[in-house]
Structure formats: structure tokens, C-alpha cells
Amino acid sequence: DQQVKQNSPSLSVQEGRISILNCDYTNSMFDYFLWYKKYPAEGPTFLISISSIKDKNEDGRFTVFLNKSAKHLSLHIVPSQPGDSAVYFCAASGRGTSYGKLTFGQGTILTVHP
């Protein structure tokens, strides 16, 4: 039972354009969502997060949007850079003691072409 889903295994974008990575979840108890960037044989690096009480959070080139009614979130990267090429995971967390206990999506491989 995949509670967090990233339905696009890969995404290819031209440098300077916008990258949009999508994520859907099924568990209504999730109330905190995160995006991580990961390279092979390395641990995930935290990018940006959003609480369920918000619908948007922005940090530099990264913006995360949350649509609670649709149980959908997306990560926008603009402008995209070749250094952004990596695997992107969305993750979700519940309340209280479940914070830090993350359920991950399958990941989306982002390739940004020069």
C-alpha cells in the first residue's frame, strides 16, 4: 500500500525552464510534507517542507504547493539548473511523535539539460 506516490519516474527539462515534480498521498493523517534531493549512494538532502495549514511555501528557486482537498503536492524549481539533476523524493509525516518518521514516494529522476 503506497501511501505516497510519485507517478512520474522521470522528468527532463531545459535549463532555465520550470521543473514541476508532483506527489500524491492517500493518508489523511499526514500533516507535514517534505521534499528531498538525492544522489546515488548518498543520503537525502532536505530541500523544502510545508505544513498542512499552508498551501504554499517558497525558498529561493524552490516552491512547494499543497492541495489538501486533492491530497496533492508539487515542487516547482525555477529557473532549473543542470546542478538540479538528481532524484527527488517527496515524503510525508504525521503528527506528534510521528514527526521525523517519514513515508517516501518512489522518487522522480530530474534531468536538466544545458
Please give the residue ranges that form the binding site for another protein (CB under 8 A). 32, 34, 36, 41-46, 49, 89, 97, 99-107
The nearest distance, CB 34 to another protein, in angstroms, is 6
CA distances from residue 77 to 12, 53, 84, 104 in whole angstroms, order as listed: 13, 22, 9, 20
The nearest distance, CB 59 to another protein, in angstroms, is 12
Reduced 3-state DSSP string for 22-48: EEEECCCCCCEEEEEEECCCCCCEEEE
The nearest distance, CB 80 to another protein, in angstroms, is 23
Between 21 and 102, whose beta carbon lies closer to another protein?
Answer: 102
* Spatial distance between the Cα atoms of 94 and 88, rounded to a whole number of angstroms: 20
Between 15 and 46, whose beta carbon lies closer to another protein?
Answer: 46
